[in-house]
Structure 1
């Protein structure tokens, strides 16, 4: 019997299915659900088929930057650029261009933080101080030496653990703070005075398309770029400096390489939608409501729990759940059953995380769909137990 046939047979013998499905069963943690009301036919098309260096191309790229600044309330002291290769490209651009001037500390409590450890230790060979915690926990932030450059993820996408706030980042720091915020921006209010480098991608909280990253540089990061030359070669797509000065065009819509103007129009749609909600406050309120609705589901089921034990450091976007007695095969069976019924897509936890579920609760998800998911999780749990 094929795997699909086995799933069909198990579903046929399972308890009765819930009467109501989520209207938009898109709970993936990246790429994430499109904004409510999204339709490709609603995207502006004037820039499509045009050069990104044409007047209209540069204007639309600049518009995306300006909207990002308004929605995120980024101060004028900070520069915003659209760069290649999603959040990974943006973060590695920052690492390759700025690290090496001071000692480095890397914080890791999930897979993406571990990726930055690998880059710093094995690729750049910087012998970093590594501060780790297990999945579901946060390391001792008070132990960080701010004489170092410090690399961290604001919201651990694959563990559901986040930093509680920016209070732990020293005001008088000598090193730079490198903030991987890809699952955090648009869901938390970022303390920009604490953040020297911030990166993210459009396909997370905005529900945009992949392959493009955003890098936000504070004044101290710009100073580092203009005063320090790394010891290693820099690929063209990482170069933010020209003749010893910041390449200001990158932060005015003149991208380093060719962007997808369709992806740009898509993110403009999402940012303009965010403004109809009241901007950042509206986005935060939606994410908070979604996380609260999922928490209510967890609280009433003894077989379901949070991987992140401390509510103060629990993600409000990539919420990671534990399932009593579940192994990888059990979670796979639950996720497959939900997908087969069109009740929830892409809810299995990340491959490197402990076996469990991961439910995206960012602002592009509707709270009613989170609430409707609860009975379907019960059903899928029964299906997996019967398999």
Structure 2
């Protein structure tokens, strides 16, 4: 490996960040020319565009007609925290954490909400907790796809149909790339800047009838900030789920996500989006299987993400380094590939084990991933020669 030639072909787009993610192929600022700017978002046309975002999501993702869909502030984080602050406390809760964001939700519940009857079930990076042991008499909070670990739940079979608690799912790097069993989920959140490759700052919040029932029949003991309030006088504020947002949205971002949704439909909707992500993931999988220095952080194939693909370096030269030098070496590799224009923003998440994280969602072109793979080998060979 030490004598590898620098690859001749670079990706046309070196954008492999796991958030914000690459824009859809062919995107340009011209798609924003007709954005509803300089007007109130509460004007008829403004509300119509916001409602269109909701309706397009429902159609493409096949969200049941009796589920509520809202546009909320604060990206996916805001959507998750709206759910946690508004719904938890009515019954005991379990938070499943096998990566950084799940751990963050556990911190919210245990240290901020201070719920005494909350339990946190953890697993190491690369693994899942024992899903079969989950008690569905409790509310359960979990990520569908661990963006920082590259580990996803394989399916929804572990979620009880007759559950008494709510299934609260952070699905931000799964929606539009994985087929979610909506009937198994009571709260689902995501953000526009992930699989759609759109702009950040806005979150999506989906509520099942069971979640709505909880909202209308339970009042938490703690005060709720205005941006978290989804009920008034014991009734759901229906306007939130018809495009009447709690706070002022960016209509520029709204125009951008409408363009992304239009593109998703043009490539075959949900099935087309999933197919592109699966094909992209296979390119990386084939490369890793043939590699003598890389492996998936996810330990079992069925739990490997097809979007935020996290890789660990298994070569003995690297594993013999102490933890601090491993982190420095991985960062040096990432910097080298960025300097060469081969890949940008592919370092592992700051809390994750040292390694690489490559976004393979639908907005990434397969040819670009194929072009990147030889650069990984070349970059690692260069790293071994130059790292001190």
TM-score range, shorter chain: over 0.9
Deviation (angstroms), 1:298: 0.6
List gaps (5 residues or longer) in structure 1. 1-12
Contact 1:297 1:371 in 2 (8 A): no
Deviation (angstroms), 1:272: 0.4
Write the deviation string for residues 29-64 of structure 1: whole angstroms up to 9, x where unpaired.
000000001111122524122211111111110111
Distance 2:214 2:240 in 1: 17
Find the counterpart in structure 2 of residue 4 from structure 1.
none
List gaps (5 residues or longer) in structure 2. 320-325
- SS at 1:305's partner residue? strand
Which aligned runs of 4 or more in structure 1 are off by greater than 6 angstroms?
Answer: none
Structure-to-structure mapping, 1:244-263, within 5 angstroms: 244-263=234-253
- SS at 1:138's partner residue? coil
The equivalent position to 2:164 in structure 1, one of 158, 163, 174, is 174
Structure-to-structure mapping, 1:211-230, within 5 angstroms: 211-230=201-220
Structure-to-structure mapping, 1:1-387, within 5 angstroms: 16-127=5-116, 128-324=118-314, 325=318, 327-387=326-386
TM-score normalised by L of structure 2: 0.95
Distance 1:150 1:283 in 2: 28
Distance 1:14 1:349 in 2: 26
Distance 2:313 2:213 in 1: 48
Contact 2:169 2:189 in 1 (8 A): yes
Distance 1:92 1:330 in 2: 36
Residues 298 and 246 (structure 1 numbering): CA distance in 2 closer, same or farther, change over 3 Å?
same
Deviation (angstroms), 1:383: 2.0
Contact 2:187 2:206 in 1 (8 A): yes
TM-score normalised by L of structure 1: 0.95
Contact 1:79 1:216 in 2 (8 A): yes
Distance 2:382 2:48 in 1: 52
Contact 1:186 1:283 in 2 (8 A): yes
How many residue pairs align between the two structures?
A: 375
State the superposition RMSD in angstroms. Answer: 1.1
Contact 2:187 2:207 in 1 (8 A): yes
Write the deviation string for residues 295-332 of structure 1: whole angstroms up to 9, x where unpaired.
01111111011000100011010000011216111111
Write the deviation string for residues 231-288 of structure 1: whole angstroms up to 9, x where unpaired.
0000000000011110000000000000111111111111000000110000000000
Distance 1:163 1:143 in 2: 14
Find the counterpart in structure 1 of residue 322 from structure 2.
none
Residues 44 and 170 (structure 1 numbering): CA distance in 2 closer, same or farther, change over 3 Å?
farther
Which deviates more, 232-241 or 375-384? 375-384
Distance 2:340 2:43 in 1: 46
Find the counterpart in structure 2 of residue 3 from structure 1.
none
